[in-house]
Amino acid sequence: MSLHDVLLWVCLIPVICGSFYALLCMAVALWYARQRPPAFTEKALFQPPVTVLKPVYGLESGLKERLRTACQQDYPVYQVVFCVQNPDDPALKVVKEIQAEFGETRVTIALRDICAGPNGKVNNLLGGLDVARHDVLVISDSDIYLRPDYLTAIVAPLEDENVGGVCTLFKSAGAEHIYEQLELLSINADFIPSVLFAEVTGVAGFCLGPSVATRQSTLRELGGLESFAEYLAEDYEIGRRIWTSGRKMVLAPYVVDAMLDLENWSQWWKHQVYWDQNTRVASPKGFFGTILIKSVPFALLFAILTGGDSVGLAVLAGAVALRLATTAVILKNVLSDTEALRALWLLPFRDIVGLASWFFAYGQRNTVWRGVEYRLTTGGRMVVAGSDPCVEAESATPTERPSPSPSPSSREAA
């Protein structure tokens, strides 16, 4: 067998595996859509007092509208804590306006600059945790748009004392540019189907960081929130500790919207690599295995190696058609996502770029957080590659440091 023939087979294996996986994801997602229970029942609702922690960093587009939704919940007793680290952060003015609108009983502003480690989101949350009035906590990223029944849905599973944490599905929304549409497809058409597959089959555990409910007492048992500040994928580590403690991590049958706000193509590309880095540090073996399900880019390579003959083009057309069809079924029947359906024509390009970001993430051991470079370790921890991260963070301004939310680390389930 010639080298050319070997390369053809090397390309065909991911095409076959990826196409089979696409069909499995579609079948599993349809089963999930038919079998999933309602997010909560109208009778005997479990509605303990709740503190909602909202990490805020920088003046994002549509920030005030999204943050207000946390204060408009159809829930009896809850406190909303907006966590801000820098007194010069322009978002501080926004949260003060919301506090004036809803009152200090409902809204608390935690302005504290804490640095327990390199993870900025955890540092931000620690400031809010100090003023949290209730044991039940809901952590919701600043880009998440909440419907009025959100708290009821995410808190309900905690009625079971064996449940250590709850997360919800999320989908990207609000794409205005092509690069934002590509980001949307990365989540809605690639990541979420993998999450559903993991949920139904039980092949992998996960915790989706943009929307999480737990208890302060549970966090203390897991080592305290500060113990997660050194991890890149802090949400995965929270989930992992809950599983290993013998408790359950529940995926509530509820979907929230994560609103997109990317500035340019460069930021989009960095997001792609960063997402894949999170997956790699959380599950190195699982991340390596994902190359076997990238059907479209390898179908393109197969077509190129065949010189564009009828067989090569047929394999490429079949892989693309199957990928688009199975994804469309999931988007329509599980996420009711018309926005992603309109952008679906970009999915083959996103998949091809996804192969490139996979290689970058696999070979790149460093990442940049708040302008400071870190080395990613085997356990998912971030180790500073230069000067102390807390010193660097203090010298940066809100416009220089990326927002700690949304946390890209919620992709570890793939």
What does the domain layout of the chain look like in residue ranges? 1-414
User: In Å, how far are 36, 76, 157 from 254, measured between CA atoms?
Assistant: 10, 20, 12
Q: Is the pTM of the predicted complex or chain greater than 0.85?
A: yes
Task: For the chain, 414 residues long, give each residue's pLDDT as a single digit of tens.
Answer: 788 889 999 999 999 999 999 999 999 999 998 887 777 666 557 899 999 999 999 888 899 999 999 999 999 999 999 999 999 999 999 999 999 999 999 999 999 999 898 888 999 999 999 999 999 999 999 999 999 999 999 999 999 999 999 999 999 999 999 999 999 999 999 999 999 999 998 887 788 989 999 999 999 999 999 999 988 888 989 999 999 999 999 999 899 999 998 989 998 998 888 888 878 877 788 888 899 999 999 999 999 999 999 999 999 999 999 999 999 999 999 899 999 999 999 999 999 999 999 998 877 777 765 566 777 776 777 777 665 555 444 444 443 333 333 333 333 333
The answer to whether 205 touches 250, Cβ cutoff 8 Å, is no
Write out the two tokens for 315: 């394999």
Write out the two tokens for 153: 């849905």
State the CATH architecture for 1-414: Alpha-Beta Complex (3.90)
Can you give the pLDDT at residue 396?
44
